[in-house]
Amino acid sequence: MLSPNNFLKKNPGITPKYAKALEKLGLFTVQDFLTYLPFRYDDFSKIVPLSEQYIGKVVTVCVKVNSAKLNRIFKRKLTIAEIICEDENGTLLKATWFNQPFIIENLPKDSSVRLSGKLELKGKYFTISSPAWEKSSREETNTGRLVPIYSETPGITSKWIRWQMKNMLEAGKQIPDYLPIELRKKLHLYSFFSALRQLHFPENAEKLLIAKKTFAFREMFLLQLKSLQIKNDRKTKQAESFAPDKNLIENFINNLPFQLTGAQHRAIKEILFDLKKNSPMNRLLNGDVGSGKTIVAAASALEIISKKHQVAILAPTEILAKQHFSGFCELFKNNNFNIALFTGSYKIINSQNIDRKTMLEKIHSGEIDLLIGTHAIIQKNIKFKNLSLVIIDEQHRFGVEQRATLLQEANSLKDGDAKNIPHLLTMTATPIPRTLAIAFFGSLDISVLDEMPKNRKAIITKIILPSQREQIYNFMHLEIDAGRQVFVIFPLVNESEKLIEIKAATEEYKKLIALFPGYKIGLLHGKLKATEKEVAMREFKEQKTQIMVSTSVIEVGIDIPNATIMLIENADRFGLSQLHQFRGRVGRGEHQSYCFIFTESTNSVSLKRLRILEKSMDGFELAKEDLNLRGPGQLLGKAQSGLSDIAMENLNNLKLIKIARTEAQNILKNDFKLKKYPLLAKALEKFAKNVHLE
């Protein structure tokens, strides 16, 4: 009997060539394959006679082949397979396929076949172009039903996956169902195997919906179990308690050259309240681009440092770490603090370069009050004297496994105070709607910066049509001649067959060199080495480069006050939240800034979406729109979240989230370690490795 644990490459029906292609999809075992779910379904369930009432509709027809021929167009290297068929009433249908000559051999004269596709009428024939097909003698797999469509890779088609799935599906009965049976019955959910069968070969739309609900609940339930366990686990740990020094914080705030927003005051108050407890803080500071998270972090750090304890700030890149170092040195210039920058390239205390050995000694002795760096500062050989607060900036930029390691090591950083673990503050500039925050960050307390500083100039945002391009280039010339700088953003690095119309950043870079002679133009994309990216951004920051051409790898949080233009090519390819993040790279200085949204799309839905960006500067409102229009995957990213597509689709289903959280609380209340549910405990352990919740 086929086992779910069998390797696919050892399956007699899968050749080495197919096994290699499946590995590219991350599929190694039978269980991997069975849980590779469709991303959509073609509804071919309507089996009808050939009739004018179905013209323009997607249907399935049962016909007999009268004749078949193969036409070749040599100049275009094209073949057209054509069959003439008739249904039981003698009504004629012509079906055609491009570059699929094998169909002629598979559908000889007099064979009975099911064809599925959009029915049209041309002359005396009904027609279907490129229909799905299978012989009538076969069980409905590719026609006559809701047909699953899977993500493909070269050499692997949805049709091939469906046939293999039919052969292997029974092995799914051996996969243990970790969801307690009483919970399944209470919520009217399918068993694991029943849900799996309906997801791959749904009997009807209603059963498919229940199967999707079952799978979404399963992951949501694990998500809530893990977040509740993390939250409770942190409460049992001990941290240093810091009684707030109100005068110190008030003096710091009053001496700032600007006024804090109400949201900043509220966030500082929430953090200081957490720091007063002797259980470790675990708080997410969620704010829009430019909402002032750094000042909130600085007030938190000040409270700790003033009590002669240490603070560490982790940034995902050297550029961001160096930017934080400069910013905190300025904020604390009137305090007698030792602030250090520690990355692969930099070892600096205040303004003095030092060697690595001296840096490590000063961290261990407690001479360093505030240590800023990349993940290099949580290496095993770094020991603190009394680290009491860890601040992680742009946490989502670290990748799932890296983040998990980061937090695990941050909690166990070696210092002289063995019994206490540090308080933890994580920050993100991606505004997260409340629904998504409840679902995904249930293990953290959340402070939201939903107000922008007063007197900040609004960034003028405009949709630019192809006819206006030259006008914008002329405006760029004027801004650069006035000493300003420009970002130009593209969706990808190189041309691709699938997205041929998208301008590649590397090609446009060459064009801009010709259009802007005498100016230095930089190029930034994901294929550059880390050091090359650092140099490109440093030169732009130091104004050695006037125009920075970049793909979407542009740093979140990078502060270039002199940049006043953000030009985004093919903007319809991005989500609103991502466009808003790009826009946030400008408008950081005293000069009026502009965001030009270039699009060649004539799609009314795309243009309507982009007009929302034209009118709104509120990142939280835009994130809500993205959640409604494009789903949670655009905000969290499936790869970052580690969740399946079905779970991602349901992250904005507040009702499902609440049910999952209630049921998770009920189980943990009586059995926190899940000793009565070994299958559930094992599934949760595996789930926690792929999904990051802190």
Assess whether 396 and 308 both reside in one domain. yes
Residue 578: other Cβ atoms inside 10 A: 22
Q: Across residues 583-594, what is the average pLDDT?
A: 89
Q: How much is the average pLDDT of 409-429?
A: 72
Q: For residue 333, what is the domain's CATH number?
A: 3.40.50.300
Residue 96 belongs to some domain of the structure: yes
Average of pLDDT values for 210-235?
A: 91
Asked whether the beta carbons of 140 and 170 are under 8 A apart, the reply is no
Residues 498 and 599 in one domain: yes
538 and 484, same structural domain?
yes
Query: What are the pLDDT digits (tens) for 143-156?
Result: 999 999 998 888 89
- Judgement on whether residues 311 and 416 belong to the same structural domain of the protein: yes
Domain of 300, in residue numbers = 242-276+291-428
The answer to whether 113 touches 135, Cβ cutoff 8 Å, is yes
- Average model confidence (pLDDT) across the chain: 87
CA angle, 166 then 169 then 174, to 5° = 165
Task: For residues 249 and 364, state if they share a domain.
Answer: yes
Of 119-128, 259-268, 404-413, 566-575, the poorest mean pLDDT is in: 404-413
Q: Which of 404, 413, 407 is nearest to 380 (CA)?
A: 413
Does 171 reside within a domain? Answer: no
CB 580 within 8 A of CB 520: no
In percent, the amount of the chain with pLDDT more than 70 equals: 92
For tokens 């055609």, what's the residue?
A: 96
Distance from the Cα of residue 529 to its chain's centroid = 22
In this structure, are residues 136 and 61 in contact, taking their beta carbons and an 8 Å threshold? no
Q: Pull the structure tokens for residue 60.
A: 């399935």
**Does 188 map to a domain?**
no
Tally the domains of the chain.
3
The C-alpha atoms of residue 105 and residue 175 are separated, in whole angstroms, by 40
Both tokens of residue 549? 């051409």
In this predicted model, what pLDDT tens digit does every residue of 273-292 receive, in sequence order? 999 999 999 898 988 888 88
378 within a domain of the structure (yes/no): yes
Confidence of residue 659 (pLDDT cuts 50, 70, 90): very high
Does residue 227 lie within any of the structural domains? no
Q: Tell me, yes or no, whether 689 lies in a domain.
A: no
Give the domain-ending residue among 616, 642, 664. 616
Q: Does the pLDDT at position 176 exceed 60?
A: yes
DSSP state letter for 56: T
Query: Is 351 within a domain?
Result: yes
Domain boundary among 121, 144, 167: 144
In this predicted structure, the answer to whether residue 443 has a pLDDT above a threshold of 50 is yes
CA atoms within 13 A on the CB side of 661: 17
